[in-house]
Structure 1
Amino acid sequence: TKLFEQCLFTFLKGLFTFEVDEFLKKGRKEYQLTMAPRYELAVGLKKGYRTTKIRWANHLAQKTSKVVKMRPSRLKGLQTKNNKFTRDLVREVCGHAPYEKRAMELLKVSKDKRALKFLKRRLGTHIRAKRKREELSNILTQMRKAAAHK
């Protein structure tokens, strides 16, 4: 049993933050076990460097945690209030571009992957294609809701 307890304590020492000698002196019932904070460590049992959680932000936020600004490439084409108003106005006057109409037809018949491939070919990057596909699918759902209300 003594050997078993020693093995158990060495195992527990890896999981919990406490001194084994103090644990033996005070006894099991009197000692309060405290778990080590998991989020401060990279991977495994107490492994790696202490890390802080990284939050992505468009603009600088609170100074309490580490904040990293988004890459400019991710910000390109992002909708702002003015930008959205202008695009909606243009969309109302001009309608959709031919490639958007074709992508919407593909989305109507549940060919999402094909629509993504098509949009990627037309727009150039995977991220822009995904954003456009999401935008067009939202337009389709709005059209369906409008048709249901009539």
Structure 2
Amino acid sequence: MDLRLLINGAEHRLDVEPRVTLLDALRERLQLTGTKKGCDQGQCGACTVHLDGRRVLACLTLAVQAEGREVTTVEGLAEADGTLHPVQRAFIRHDAFQCGYCTPGQIMSAVACIEEGHATDDHSIREFMSGNLCRCGAYPHIVAAVREAAAEMAPMREAAE
């Protein structure tokens, strides 16, 4: 199938089999390797990306389902000048990663959690981030980073509304 994918603001044309997942198209065809392949069964969250602004698991999403829709990966969060997204900066400040493998999925989920209005307290952050697993156990640092980024992004969210 000939697909037109809009990824991180750039249009990409791909010829893929109908069974190719968005995850495999991103990693293997477009060399966007920030999105990680963890369990490949939708249980770990390492492959979390945004599709039309909503978080999805790229391992469970077919590439054809993303045709003509806006896909954002962790590579697309930073500004064009390299300025990191508030969530990325908070993850660094709070050392919210150890091995780092789950970090891109955690960051993408955290951005969505904040934008969806679910980062109101630690319990809500834990609940709405529960689909993203961290084998290293950096959860307290991740929650702290999400809390800080949510506070930083609040004025931006309010201005947009």
Check whether TM > 0.5. no
The higher relative CO (CA closer than 8 Å, separation ≥ 6) is in 2
| Structure with the bigger percentage of strand | 2
| Structure with the bigger percentage of helix | 1
- What TM-score, normalized by structure 2, do the two folds share? 0.26
Asked which structure has the greater CA Rg, the reply is: 1
- What TM-score, normalized by structure 1, do the two folds share? 0.28
